[in-house]
């Protein structure tokens, strides 16, 4: 896709349909996603220092390099996901300069978010066989989630927590009660890793 094609797709999904705002959304989306991936890699390096004896640290490092790869490598996905990310993460007040169409709101929840979670193993939702397009309600069963993906998830939570000024441990305490079902062993691993790398 060419730059103008991205801009036109974004423009069609926002209100008002302002090309300058669409261009700024794309720019901020790419900047934020690159910084997020860099931060996840930083936390993955810390995690592997803490988890030296685990064979899957190589997998964690590789996954961190490819973290959220669809957010930067799939042209159609980029164009459709950018307004969602900018709205969610309140980048530099840009989110207040636009709204999204009703159709887009439905698509991002029913399709783009689900698609992203299913493609990226660090999202617990993707490990729940019942998680699919359409109506999805927590809690999601993450008990089959392997430790290398749990570690990447923790790195992701730490990166988002730093960006947003939130505690990854507070987030874990909330989602382990309301959103995700983890085994006791998974919960202990997540807690210890958050404490070690945040």
Q: What percent of the chain has pLDDT over 70?
A: 96
Quote the number of domains for the chain: 1
Highest mean predicted confidence (pLDDT) among 5-9, 53-57, 174-178, 183-187: 183-187
pLDDT at 76 over 80: no
pLDDT of residue 62: 93
pLDDT of residue 152: 97
pLDDT at 89 over 90: no
Higher pLDDT, 188 or 101: 188
pLDDT in tens, 102-147: 888 777 777 788 888 888 999 999 999 888 766 667 899 999 999 9
Of 6, 22, 33, 26, the C-alpha closest to 99 is 22
Mean pLDDT of the 88-115 span: 81
Q: What is the DSSP string of 68-129?
A: TTHHHH-HHHHHHHHHHHHHHHTGGGGGGG-EE-HHHHHHIIIIIHHHHHHH-TTSGGGG-T
- Cα distance between residue 84 and residue 100, in whole Å: 9
Q: Note down the domain range covering 126.
A: 3-197
Band of residue 101 on the pLDDT scale cut at 50, 70, 90: confident
Say which range, 20-29, 50-59, 101-110, 144-153, has the weakest mean pLDDT: 101-110
pLDDT of residue 34: 94
Instruction: Report which DSSP code applies to 139.
Output: P
């Amino acid at each position: 896709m060419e730059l103008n094609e991205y801009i036109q797709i974004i423009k069609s999904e926002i209100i008002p349909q302002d090309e300058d705002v669409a261009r700024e959304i794309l720019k901020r989306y790419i900047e934020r996603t690159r910084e997020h991936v860099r931060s996840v890699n930083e936390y993955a390096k810390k995690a592997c220092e803490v988890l030296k004896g685990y064979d899957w640290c190589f997998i964690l490092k590789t996954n961190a390099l490819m973290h959220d790869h669809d957010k930067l490598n799939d042209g159609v996905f980029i164009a459709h996901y950018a307004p969602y990310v900018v709205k969610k993460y309140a980048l530099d007040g840009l989110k207040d300069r636009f709204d999204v169409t009703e159709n887009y709101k439905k698509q991002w929840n029913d399709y783009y978010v689900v698609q992203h979670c299913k493609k990226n193993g660090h999202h617990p939702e993707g490990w729940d066989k019942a998680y699919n397009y359409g109506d999805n309600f927590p809690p999601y069963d993450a008990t089959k989630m392997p430790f290398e993906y749990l570690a990447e998830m923790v790195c992701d939570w730490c990166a988002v927590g730093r960006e947003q000024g939130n505690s990854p441990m507070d987030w874990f305490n909330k989602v382990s009660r309301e959103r995700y079902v983890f085994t006791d062993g998974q919960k202990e691993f997540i807690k210890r890793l958050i404490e070690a790398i945040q």
